[in-house]
Amino acid sequence: MSNSFVEFRNVSFRYGDDQPWVLKNVSFQIQSDKWVAIIGHNGSGKSTIAKLMNGLLFPQEGEIIVNGLIINEETIWDVRKSVGMVFQNPDNQFVGTTVKDDVAFGLENRGIPREIMIRRIDESLKAVGMSEYINHEPHRLSGGQKQRVAIASVLAISPNLIILDEATAMLDPKGRFDILQVINSVRNQERLMLVTITHDLNEIGYADKVIVMNNGSVWAETTPRALFAKEKDLKQIGLDIPFVAKLAKEFIELGIPINKTPLNHDELLEELWIYHSKM
């Protein structure tokens, strides 16, 4: 038996009989307790995958299994209990008149008792650094603050899997780093699985696995490190390696050995120290 939590089996999808196929024969698995990043150029099918994963769309061909259930009209409500999703545009997902009501909404829907609800609201707003905005109106927040609240709403219901579809796109670099740290620590405490969708390769260093989409097909399924070593291939499909990986290449060209492609600045620094200490 595989221990995959999500499985796409030969999934093909189009937005209508007269429309072109958006996904063609897509298969992949997401193992329990893993963080998977999905990247690809605009229109490559990433958001479509996210919507299929929690049953907002159904495939015309193939099947999708989440938490042991094949997604269909009957299983959809059970599937959604275990999958939380934050979209690209947070404006479309606010329902409450205050930040507190908004985070409470998903909890009320799940019939969570009041005392637990209050604790979860406080904890999740704290996790995203938005505690002081608890009584604010969501539509008056900045784009990045809205995204934080949307992430808090999903964290509060503690699903098994959270899908973030470009959900940190509006944050400044520090905010993005902070949120990824928060999510990573929640992930470690609560055995949360994560799917993060982005076209920014700087964001995928934390992930256990990367699925690269190209024109509706899986182009590669690999680790971030292996992917960062493939600059030429990535450029051919309109993507690029992160700055830190480029810098490492420059050092190698200057004759400074970098033994493993760095995922972040700390790893690059470490390599440089090793070289320096041998001089």
Ligand X SMILES: Nc1ncnc2c1ncn2[C@@H]1O[C@H](COP(=O)(O)OP(=O)(O)OP(=O)(O)O)[C@@H](O)[C@H]1O
Q: Given the rule CB under 6 A, which residues bind ligand X?
A: 15, 19, 22, 40, 42-48, 199
Work out how close the CB of 122 gets to ligand X at its nearest, in angstroms, rounded to a whole number.
33
From the list ligand X, Mg ion, none, partner contacted by residue 44 (C-beta under 5 to 8 A by kind): ligand X
Rounded CA separation 97/117 (Å) = 17
Work out how close the CB of 42 gets to Mg ion at its nearest, in angstroms, rounded to a whole number.
8
CB closer to Mg ion, 46 vs 146? 46
From the list Mg ion, ligand X, none, partner contacted by residue 224 (C-beta under 5 to 8 A by kind): none
Rounded CA separation 183/177 (Å) = 10
Work out how close the CB of 216 gets to ligand X at its nearest, in angstroms, rounded to a whole number.
7
Rounded CA separation 34/195 (Å) = 9
From the list ligand X, Mg ion, none, partner contacted by residue 176 (C-beta under 5 to 8 A by kind): none
CB closer to ligand X, 48 vs 147? 48
Rounded CA separation 27/83 (Å) = 19
Cβ neighbours of residue 4 under 8 Å, at least 6 residues apart? 29, 30, 31, 32, 65
From the list ligand X, Mg ion, none, partner contacted by residue 42 (C-beta under 5 to 8 A by kind): ligand X
Work out how close the CB of 168 gets to Mg ion at its nearest, in angstroms, rounded to a whole number.
13
What order of strands is seen across the sheet that includes strand 193-198?
Answer: 83-86, 161-165, 193-198, 35-40, 209-214, 217-222
Residues binding Mg ion (CB under 5 A)? 46-47
Work out how close the CB of 95 gets to ligand X at its nearest, in angstroms, rounded to a whole number.
22
CA 29 to chain centroid: 15
What does DSSP assign to residue 139? G
CB closer to Mg ion, 46 vs 100? 46
